[in-house]
Amino acid sequence: MFRLPRYVFREVFSPAILGLVIYTFVLLMNAIFDVAELAIKKDLPLTAVLQILALSLPRFLALTIPMSTLLGVLIGVGRLSADSELIAMRACGISYRKIFVPVFLLGALGWLVCSVLVLWIEPKANYARHRIVTRLFLRSDFRKELRPRVFFEDLPGMLLYAEAVYRGGSSLEHILLFQTDSEGRDLFTTARRGHLDYDRSTGRIRLLMESGLTHRADPNDPLN
């Protein structure tokens, strides 16, 4: 009596594993390109690249496990039905309840793994990945990545734009700066020129602007 459940479970489990590998690889490709771009800009070591990719896996597995479970059930049960094996089992007096117990077991297993990933593993992995990326960002001089007439979005909570960039990003002209203050208001600053200082040891950024004007906007009061 245990041979039949193992057979049905194997029929739905094998395509589920294959789907899990394919789906995860497809979603991971985008992360690979992003990490490769980051590695080129920041000159990251191979160990840091592998750590970032490994810490991204729980986020993708939480999406691909339900998809692969559904794929395994559709392919496995579809093959059993197409080869008339379900009819043969029913002719032998085996109820649908006993036949589909392994299918329900696979679904429960996928639900349990996803719950562990979403509730415990994924938050810790996201936090660890954020710490690694932030530490790598602080080690490098981001001023070298500033480009004229290109929005710079790597500064946390800030958006920087300059018409002209000189001396490796230290001197800027015709600046646009967008940021959010502690009260949740949007600050939009324009300046004719500015000087950007960055302390790599502390990660402190100081932007000195000349002839600047700041506009404040409160999302809770758009008319003000």
8 Å CB contact between 163 and 96: no
Kindly state whether residue 42 falls inside one of the protein's structural domains.
yes
Residue 66 has pLDDT above 80, yes or no: yes
One domain for residues 162 and 186: yes
Total Cβ atoms within 10 A of residue 73:
21
One domain for residues 154 and 107: no
The angle subtended at Cα 187 by Cα 186 and Cα 190, nearest 5°, is 145
Residue 122 has pLDDT above 90, yes or no: yes
8 Å CB contact between 48 and 132: yes
Kindly state whether residue 224 falls inside one of the protein's structural domains.
no
Kindly state whether residue 75 falls inside one of the protein's structural domains.
yes
Instruction: Please tell me the total count of domains within the chain.
Output: 2
Q: Residue 20: helix, strand or coil by DSSP?
A: helix
Kindly state whether residue 171 falls inside one of the protein's structural domains.
yes
For 201-224, how does the pLDDT look when each residue is reduced to its tens digit (9 = 90+)? 666 778 888 888 888 877 666 655
Number of helices (H), then strands (E), belonging to the chain: the values are: 6, 5
Residue 98 has pLDDT above 60, yes or no: yes
- The H-or-E segment that residue 191 falls in is strand 186-199
- From 105, 139, 173, the end of a domain falls on 139
One domain for residues 14 and 103: yes
One domain for residues 114 and 12: yes
Kindly state whether residue 222 falls inside one of the protein's structural domains.
no
Kindly state whether residue 45 falls inside one of the protein's structural domains.
yes
One domain for residues 46 and 108: yes
- From 85, 120, 139, the end of a domain falls on 139
The pLDDT of residue 20 is 95
DSSP string, 85-102: HHHHHHHTT--HHHHSHH
One domain for residues 39 and 58: yes
Q: Residue 197: helix, strand or coil by DSSP?
A: strand
- From 113, 139, 165, the end of a domain falls on 139
The pLDDT of residue 86 is 86
Closest CA to 126 of 203, 31, 29: 31
One domain for residues 56 and 161: no
Kindly state whether residue 43 falls inside one of the protein's structural domains.
yes
For 150-183, how does the pLDDT look when each residue is reduced to its tens digit (9 = 90+)? 888 877 678 888 888 886 667 888 888 888 877 7
Kindly state whether residue 66 falls inside one of the protein's structural domains.
yes
8 Å CB contact between 55 and 129: yes
Place of tokens 């734009």: 161
The pLDDT of residue 168 is 67
One domain for residues 44 and 134: yes
8 Å CB contact between 177 and 159: yes
One domain for residues 199 and 177: yes
One domain for residues 152 and 79: no
Domain enclosing residue 87, as ranges: 3-139
Contacts of 54 (CB under 8 A, 6+ apart): none
Which residue type is seen at 44? L
Q: Which two tokens stand for residue 146?
A: 């500033």
The length of the chain in residues reads: 224
One domain for residues 8 and 80: yes
How far apart CA 24 and CA 19 sit, in angstroms, is 8
One domain for residues 19 and 68: yes
* Separation in Å, CA 163 to CA 115, 171, 178, 188, 194: 49, 11, 15, 16, 11
The pLDDT of residue 219 is 67
Place of tokens 């946390």: 156
